[in-house]
Chains A and B, each alone.
Chain A
Amino acid sequence: MSLDIAKGILHRCFRCGYCKFTFDFTDFNCPAYKKYRFESYSSGGKMWLIWGLINNELKMSENLAKILYSCTTCGNCVENCKFEKFNDFWVDIIEAARAEAFKQGFGLEKFKTFGEHTAKEHNPYLESHQNRLDWLPGDVKMSDSANIAYYVGCTASYRQKKIAQDTVRILNRIGIEFQLSPEEWCCGSPLIRTGQTDIALEQAQHNVMLFKNAGIKTVFTSCAGCYRTLKEDYPRKFELELDFEVLHLTELLERNIEKLEFAKLLNKTVTYHDPCHLGRHANLYDSPRVILKKFPEINFVEMKKNRENSTCCGAGGGVKSGFSDWALEQARDRLLEAKEVNAEILVSTCPFCNRNFIDAKNEFNIDIDIFDLTELLVEHMK
């Protein structure tokens, strides 16, 4: 969505404030409002600021850009705004305003750096593209003739490599054939979220062609952010035609649930954190829970705020790189919510959430184990 299109609907925001809350009003659940407490930081406040910008009542400024970037794009506002056919667009409008901030030279420096790097090396981690597959263990079986492809994503390729390694091991164990390509590029998510859509589009076009040329019918990913981007942004934002279905790993595993055989008991109290990009953005809540409940002897508990009401981990929308301390504070708060229900393990299905949780655990010395679901599966499966 461009700001021009946003102009046609923005005035429908009444700033009633439902967007600040959970469904049942137990807590403010808009991360930026909860932190900064000025009305201007609430989602409705941001909508009115963008309206002011479009109507030349406000100018883009460093402070306005800061307010726009202080949003994890978690989608709590989308869930809780009650104005139909407007509520779907909150995140799109924020992203369009961020694109405008970039255009006018107010993009955060860190974002510019990773944007420029992604244009060249196809990852935002300032790594070299040719090392993208360094994580891949030698003993993994792949099949060039498979029509299923694993889209690994940058975080699992360069930072949370164990997630990628465990993913391929699980597939080998349950006998699902797949291929992966050293030529996959960044999905574009960090660029879209921070307003650098042109570079994101290049990445997206490349990836779509890559899968098309390889005759891929199903693309699955272990990353919630990549999933949201491939599944939602490619067709909706970039209007790219996909010849393949996009699955999150947990959906693929749920389809093959009878093949998951366990060798070890998991007699621990375990909770699940819904990554925003999987849950609120893509409505995928059940598959990870179905799989978790298959673990023998597991004591699965829900946190008070779960599913559509989930607290954001704090890493998304560029916040981990742009506001790193605040991202950690948010992850800390989420870990404390897990402790409140006596969870010994917090499981997520997003490398980015996982990274942020581990960083917060270490920073604040919180006694809880953090796993990506893949890791837990590899440890407990036959």
Chain B
Amino acid sequence: MKKDGIIKALKDIVGNDFASNEPEHLYIYSQDPGASLPRPVDFVVLPKTTEELQEIVKLANEEKIPITPMGGGLTLSGLVIPVKGGIVIDLKRMDQIIEINRYSRYALIEAGVTTGKLLSHLKENYPDLEPPIPDAPPSATVAGNVLIHGSGYLSQKYGDQGAMVNGLEVVLPNGDNAKLGSCALSNYWFAKGPIPDMIGLFLSSFGTMGIVTKLSLQLQPKPKCRDIVFGLMKDPNNIPELLYQITATDLAEDVLLGMQDKPDWMKGYVFVMTYITAEKKEDLDPQVKLFKRLYRKAGANYMKAPKKMQDLYLQKPIFAAGAADYRKGGGFEYVGANMPLEKIPEAYIKGAEVSRKFGIPPTLGSRLIGGTHNIVMFFSYSFNRADPDDMENARSALEETNKLALELGGIPWKAELGAQKQILKKMDPNYKKLFFRIRNLLDPNGIMNPGNWEEV
């Protein structure tokens, strides 16, 4: 079918107002806020229902047109910019919160529900529950975050967002619609199994296996009070022991670390921030005392966080997008890398070296995931969007950092195309073979976000 025929067919499915191949829309969907170069898009479509989405996927499959699912488009790694053109499917019109199950503590939502919407819905209607959301802007979708193994303020306690999925409804590359998890045989989306677990296939596969239309996500009890215990340490080598001791208390909700040059008093230190929670304010005090002692023993110094900082870090979500304005350049991208805890000191030391090499002030951070089982490290590079050379410089820094993360035994997270290639190169060949076989079985025409997770 020619382009005219395809746009007509898409409009027939979703209505005239929600499909386009006009240059202005294609321009916007061919880029993301990260450092990736734009890549061309042929069509943009915004379905409202699962049925519409199934029709779009069937059309793409018949016509062998690549499709790229998109939520908020905020990974910064260019994951929603098609590699081989085709159709971007913006899912944010599928935005219904279908059910909040208070006793089984889960939210059943459509794929386009934003983290902002779920957060505010719970705040208003279920004030004793909280959703696992990232510090990404509230326009990120819950699904987009879950599907990349995102993490947030609840991850230290409960594991990453992927661990909190109870079930998915997925449109497969042939247009079929499959339910995964307890919802495959029960009206209750309360658990992953016990049946053969296929949910994992759809996580961090970047839309190459299917398009999620609904998901059930665990909610957690919301504490009445929350505070942060702030500390500074000079020597990054103290980090593993400090985090080991913090998590042993079983009192930390979230633990963030960071290293940055601004404000001046932070330069040369790694900061640690332990979030503590309680039912009553006065119950926080003994915890603060305990962590003060613990910090001292592990080589960090307690410090009362300045009010401005406290306000910033107690927000949900934290306004992390401010990093884009760090040099008033409107852009930043980071390598996120999941790492073993013992490699974190080296990650800070070598990460700062990479930053300096590329002339970018070091901005490093990390967040614990599931106790000390996993820690996600952020190597962040701000750039000036108006300066193509500066953006190229950031891309080079990202590439080198991905290499560093892999060398240290970590795995780049929400990996951009370059990092995906580096990961595949290092991956056990039989894992790779299995992955490609399953993918080809599901998507013989190669329409699902092609170019991602591909070696050539």
13 other contacts beyond A38-B46, A61-B23, A83-B325, with CB at 8 A cut-off?
Answer: A11-B329, A11-B384, A12-B324, A12-B385, A14-B33, A15-B33, A16-B33, A25-B120, A37-B46, A38-B25, A39-B28, A48-B27, A49-B24
Q: Let me know if B137 is at the binding interface, CB within 8 A.
A: yes
Across the interface, A36 reaches (CB within 8 A) one of B17, B319, B328, namely B17
Q: Let me know if B29 is at the binding interface, CB within 8 A.
A: yes
Rounded to whole angstroms, the CA-CA distance of A11 and B328 in the bound complex is 9
Q: Let me know if A334 is at the binding interface, CB within 8 A.
A: no
Q: Let me know if A104 is at the binding interface, CB within 8 A.
A: no
Q: Is the CB of A16 within 8 A of B321?
A: yes
Across the interface, B138 reaches (CB within 8 A) one of A21, A38, A45, namely A21
Q: Let me know if B299 is at the binding interface, CB within 8 A.
A: no
CB interface residues, A 244-276, toward B, < 8 Å: none
Which B residues are in CB contact (< 8 Å) with A215? none
Q: Let me know if A17 is at the binding interface, CB within 8 A.
A: yes
CB interface residues, B 327-349, toward A, < 8 Å: 328-332
Binary flags per residue of A12-39, CB closer than 8 Å to B gives 1, else 0: 1111111011001110000000001111
Q: Is the CB of A24 within 8 A of B24?
A: no
Which B residues are in CB contact (< 8 Å) with A45? 28
Q: Is the CB of A18 within 8 A of B321?
A: yes
Across the interface, A49 reaches (CB within 8 A) one of B27, B92, B332, namely B27
Q: B residues engaging A (CB < 8 A)?
A: 17-18, 20, 22-25, 27-29, 31, 33, 44, 46, 72-74, 90, 92-93, 114, 116-117, 119-121, 123-124, 137-140, 319, 321-322, 324-325, 328-332, 384-386
Q: Is the CB of A17 within 8 A of B27?
A: no
Q: Let me know if A64 is at the binding interface, CB within 8 A.
A: yes
Closest-CB distance, B36 to chain A (whole angstroms): 13
Q: Is the CB of B29 within 8 A of A39?
A: yes
From known contacts A17-B138, A17-B139, A24-B123, infer whether A38 and B27 are also in contact, taking CB-CB under 8 Å: no
Closest to B137 in A: A16
Q: Let me know if A179 is at the binding interface, CB within 8 A.
A: no
Rounded to whole angstroms, the CA-CA distance of A86 and B325 in the bound complex is 10
Rounded to whole angstroms, the CA-CA distance of A15 and B139 in the bound complex is 10
Across the interface, A17 reaches (CB within 8 A) one of B24, B29, B137, B324, namely B137
Which A residues are in CB contact (< 8 Å) with B138? 17-18, 21, 25
Closest-CB distance, B311 to chain A (whole angstroms): 13
From known contacts A20-B139, A38-B90, infer whether A67 and B386 are also in contact, taking CB-CB under 8 Å: no
* 8 A-B pairs closest in CB distance: A17-B139, A25-B116, A14-B324, A11-B386, A16-B321, A16-B137, A11-B385, A12-B330
Q: Is the CB of B322 within 8 A of A82?
A: yes
Q: Let me know if A40 is at the binding interface, CB within 8 A.
A: yes
Can you spell out 19 A-B residue pairs with CB atoms less than 8 angstroms apart?
A11-B384, A12-B324, A12-B325, A12-B330, A14-B330, A14-B332, A18-B137, A18-B139, A21-B138, A25-B116, A25-B119, A25-B138, A26-B124, A37-B92, A38-B25, A38-B44, A48-B31, A63-B24, A64-B24
Q: Let me know if A58 is at the binding interface, CB within 8 A.
A: yes
From known contacts A14-B321, A52-B27, infer whether A37 and B93 are also in contact, taking CB-CB under 8 Å: yes
Across the interface, B116 reaches (CB within 8 A) one of A14, A21, A38, A39, namely A21
From known contacts A20-B139, A25-B116, infer whether A57 and B322 are also in contact, taking CB-CB under 8 Å: no
Q: Is the CB of B25 within 8 A of A12?
A: no
Rounded to whole angstroms, the CA-CA distance of A104 and B325 in the bound complex is 33
Rounded to whole angstroms, the CA-CA distance of A39 and B32 in the bound complex is 11
Closest-CB distance, A375 to chain B (whole angstroms): 34
Rounded to whole angstroms, the CA-CA distance of A82 and B322 in the bound complex is 8
Rounded to whole angstroms, the CA-CA distance of A48 and B28 in the bound complex is 7
From known contacts A21-B139, A40-B25, A61-B23, infer whether A11 and B44 are also in contact, taking CB-CB under 8 Å: no
Rounded to whole angstroms, the CA-CA distance of A15 and B75 in the bound complex is 12
Rounded to whole angstroms, the CA-CA distance of A25 and B18 in the bound complex is 24
